[in-house]
Amino acid sequence: MLITGIKGINDILPDDVGKWQWVESVARRIFSNFGFQEIRIPLLEKTELFARSIGESTDIVEKEMYTFPDRNGQLLTLRPEATASVVRAFIQHRLHLNPTMRKFYTIGPMFRHERPQKGRYRQFHQINAEVFAMDDPMVDAEVIYMLLVFLEELNIPDVTLHINSMGCPDCRQPFRKSLTEYLGRVSDKLCSDCQRRRLTNPLRIFDCKVEPCKQLVREAPVLLDYLCNDCLSNFEGVKEHLTSLGIGYTIDPHMVRGLDYYNRTTFEALTPHLGAQNAVGGGGRYDGLMETLGGPDLPATGFAIGMERLILLLDEKIEIEKDSNRLFLACLGNECQKRGFQFAQQLRLRNIFVEMDYESRSLKAQMRRADKLGATHVLILGDDELAKGVATLRNMETSVQEDIPLEGIVEELLQRLRSAM
């Protein structure tokens, strides 16, 4: 029987890879201008890392993680997000002792066992940026600014910014109390999941996708009304710096993000072109996480961008960088093929794209293949040419052909292919 891939876990075929590479290269270029360095973290972690960081009673940990015991009985999880791992690595390698290690980004696949739908898969890809040990509102504004600059560079249309403050433990206490009271009053109208959340983690009711709950949440008390003075002035600072950078924003008091660890400024970049799930990227501050995971008490903020959704939003007409010249070797007959085989390797070593025919097909068939490969030039080498000590170079665009002596042909080709752009 045919073995197929796993539902919701997709291949990215060569025709699509160009877009992915382009998005990644734009991220690398822009993030590095902002002082971010790449960190590569493993796909597998101990389950407790995510349980402790994301929160035991979040949907991710309760329902969506790929968790399994390895052969020694150690519980492992395929990472459902990147932040916890970056924080773990920062702590483990004591990077806080090195003042040049503050801003990180990472790009790669994450895994969540959700119902697959367009733009949302069980293996999905994220670009993550994280900043540690800096808590000035300027840093929040700058991280948001970098996200928007990145989306603009990719020409993502109609992006708007929503921000909120999730406060601190001090202001959460009175808020939690009044939220719990409100939920108590409407508890009979809540879905069964939210009945339970009401007692375990009431804030998670804001994530519920069930319609009656969504309605009730709209009338629930919001954290923004309970901010302590410190959180209030911090949020004012972030807004001021955003304005100074010319960034417009909407304050969305109902935006809570799906993870437990956020505090103070959170944000989402939204676009109307994604249907119901309209966030293309988002994040926020998570000052307590480092300490929760056993590290030093250092502040942190960051964001994640869903690459699948980003790719859906890319302009179809986007021109992925034009290739340089591409040479196809059309060799006729055994002897010519042997010579061509050698030329091909010599040119490749000098950084030229070369493809050739290995099956001794007719010239016509070889020319067709050259065309399909987008060859800009074809070098034709047959017995007649070989006898004359030449090969024929055809420019596929102009159809001009000329003979080139075999003696010194590699240097000659190099010169022509590098210049004739």
**Hey, is 269 helix, strand or coil?**
strand
User: What is the edge-to-edge ordering of all strands in the sheet holding 377-381?
Assistant: 353-356, 326-331, 377-381, 390-395, 401-405
Write out the two tokens for 1: 């029987």
- Compute the least distance from the CB of residue 258 to Zn ion, in Å: 14
- Compute the least distance from the CB of residue 228 to Zn ion, in Å: 4
C-beta closer to Zn ion: residue 153 or 170: 170
C-beta closer to Zn ion: residue 150 or 286: 286
- Compute the least distance from the CB of residue 252 to Zn ion, in Å: 18
Q: What stretch of H or E contains 141?
A: helix 137-153
Mark 101-137 as b/e (b = at least 16 C-beta within 10 Å): bbbbbbbbebbbebebeebebbbbbbbbbbbbbbbeb
C-beta closer to Zn ion: residue 170 or 335: 170
C-beta closer to Zn ion: residue 186 or 228: 228
- Compute the least distance from the CB of residue 121 to Zn ion, in Å: 24
- Compute the least distance from the CB of residue 22 to Zn ion, in Å: 40
- Compute the least distance from the CB of residue 253 to Zn ion, in Å: 15
CB 302 within 8 Å of CB 131: yes
CB 158 within 8 Å of CB 271: yes
* Beta-bridge partner residues of 46: 76
- Compute the least distance from the CB of residue 157 to Zn ion, in Å: 32
The β-bridge relationship of strands 123-132 and 160-165 is unpaired
Which amino acid appears at position 16 of this protein? D
Q: Which residues bind Zn ion (CB under 5 A)?
A: 167-168, 170-171, 191, 194, 208, 210, 213, 228, 231
C-beta closer to Zn ion: residue 228 or 390: 228
- Compute the least distance from the CB of residue 171 to Zn ion, in Å: 4
Cα(157)–Cα(216) distance, integer angstroms: 32
C-beta closer to Zn ion: residue 210 or 363: 210
**Contacts with 46 (C-beta within 8 Å, 6 or more apart), sequence order:** 74, 75, 76, 77
C-beta closer to Zn ion: residue 194 or 336: 194
C-beta closer to Zn ion: residue 191 or 274: 191
Alpha-carbon torsion angle 371, 341, 394, 377, nearest 10: 50
Alpha-carbon torsion angle 349, 354, 355, 358, nearest 10: -50
